[in-house]
Structures are given as structure tokens and as C-alpha cells.
Amino acid sequence: MVPYDLGAWASELVSSSLVIALPVAILAGLVSFFSPCVVPLLPGYLSYATGLGAAEVVEGKGHRGRMLAGSLLFVLGFALVFVVTGAVAGGIGRTLLEWRDPISRVLGVVVIIVGAIFAGWIRIGQSDLRIHRIPAVGIAAAPLLGIVFGLGWTPCIGPTLTVVISLAWNEGSALRGAVLAFAYCLGLGLPFVVAALAFTRMTRVIGWMRNRRVALMRIGGVSMIIVGLLLVSGLWEWLMGYLRNLIAMFAPVI
């Protein structure tokens, strides 16, 4: 029974549009990490999650094991928030399959708008809600802090998160929606872990990103607009159908 269930899950994932949607979600996560509401406060986030002082984090003096554990637990905390959100969006999408086409087109318009917001062409939705004073209680509370920050980030990373949720809804499956949201969390969370282990080296990358922040925001916004146009025009569904047929042509060796 278990092998059958696992096989069914694997089949559902591979035969879906995730092949194209997953890279989009990972890119959205990376764009979110390098946004103005995350990168400038990176030392503070890592300090909260590890219980170390911000100076220790910046100078790379913290114990690597502690930094790794704290950052991973922190990432798992906000990943829980986003994965649940993706699963709910995918589940709702399944219940509304009858109206998938018109709703997908509406979501496409939304994605185009948030892409324009992210690119800076529409000056709304740029604010963020964050918890500014949280005691650095250390690793034990890192998952809870991740949940709190995941909820607090939502207004700031709304444009990128909206794209992922829209794609999760379009998947029409709670499982695929959760996997898609997890991919987003990988793009957002892995840089946290890298920064925790090698902050002094990461500062060079962060500095490079800051100097090119406007261009990167434009690229991210244009990418979202392209996805939105695909949804509005119906080409996304056509592309997914073509992909399913292509995958169906492959047969297992055994």
C-alpha cells in the first residue's frame, strides 16, 4: 500500500506543471531574500535565531554548529507558514476546477500588477510589517521566530509570494501547492544558511546585489509579468498540456 501511495504521489508531481513552475518559485524566493526588507536586517535575523550578538554574526565569530542549527530552524519556521499557505491555495484550486480558466486569467492580471509593483513601476504595496524587538533567546526559539517573521514579512514580500500562491492555486492540488511553496522557501532560506556559515564572504555578494538592486528588482518584476501574461492569454495552460503529453511519452525502463 505504501509503495503504491508513494508511486501515486511521485506520478502526480512529475506529470504536473511543476517542472516549469518550480524554477519560477525558487527565483521568486531568491528575489525575496535580496529585497530591501530582508537583506539590511540579515544580521538581526541571524542574531535572534542563534542567540549571538549582531557583532559576532557580522564578524563571523559565532560557533558554526550554533549558526547552522539556528539558521536552519529559523528557515523551517517560516517555511511552515508558506508551505501551509501553498497547500491551502492548491486545495482551493482543486475545488474550483470548474472555473479554472476564468480564475486563472484573473490571477494572471493580479500577477502582472504585483510584478509592476515589484519592478517599481507602481508605487504601492512597498511597506512591510516586522517585529522589531524580539529578545535573542537562541536556538530553542528559532522555529517560533521563523514563524513570527514569516507572518511579518508577508506585506513586504507580497509580490513574489502572490506569484507563488497563484501558481499553487493553478496546480489544483494541495500536495503540489505545498511542494511549490517549499521551492519558494528554498530560494528564500538557503541564502540565510549560507550567510550564517560565511557571513563575511556573503557580505560581498550582498554588497554586489545592493549596488544592482534596482536592476534585479526590474528583472524579477518582468519575470512575474511574463508569468502573468501566460496566465491571462491561456498559454500557460497550453504549455502545461504540452509538457504533460511530452512526459507521457517516456516509459519506465523496468
pTM flag (> 0.85) = no
In a domain, 51, yes or no: yes
Please choose, from the candidates 80, 85, 240, 104, the residue with its C-alpha nearest in 3D space to the C-alpha of residue 174.
Answer: 85
In a domain, 16, yes or no: no
In a domain, 8, yes or no: no
In a domain, 214, yes or no: yes
As for how many domains the chain has, the answer is 1
Q: Tens-digit pLDDT profile for the chain (254 aa)?
A: 444 455 555 555 554 567 778 888 888 888 888 776 677 778 878 887 887 776 777 666 667 788 889 899 999 999 999 999 889 888 887 777 667 778 778 878 887 887 787 777 876 655 444 444 444 456 777 888 888 777 766 656 666 777 788 888 877 788 888 988 999 999 999 988 988 888 767 667 767 766 777 787 787 778 778 888 988 888 877 776 666 566 555 544 44
In a domain, 87, yes or no: yes
In a domain, 165, yes or no: yes
In a domain, 89, yes or no: yes
For residue 148, give its domain range. Answer: 21-248
Q: Rounded CA gap, 28 and 168, in Å? A: 13
Q: pLDDT at position 21, please? A: 80
In a domain, 253, yes or no: no
Cell numbers 506529470 label which residue? 15
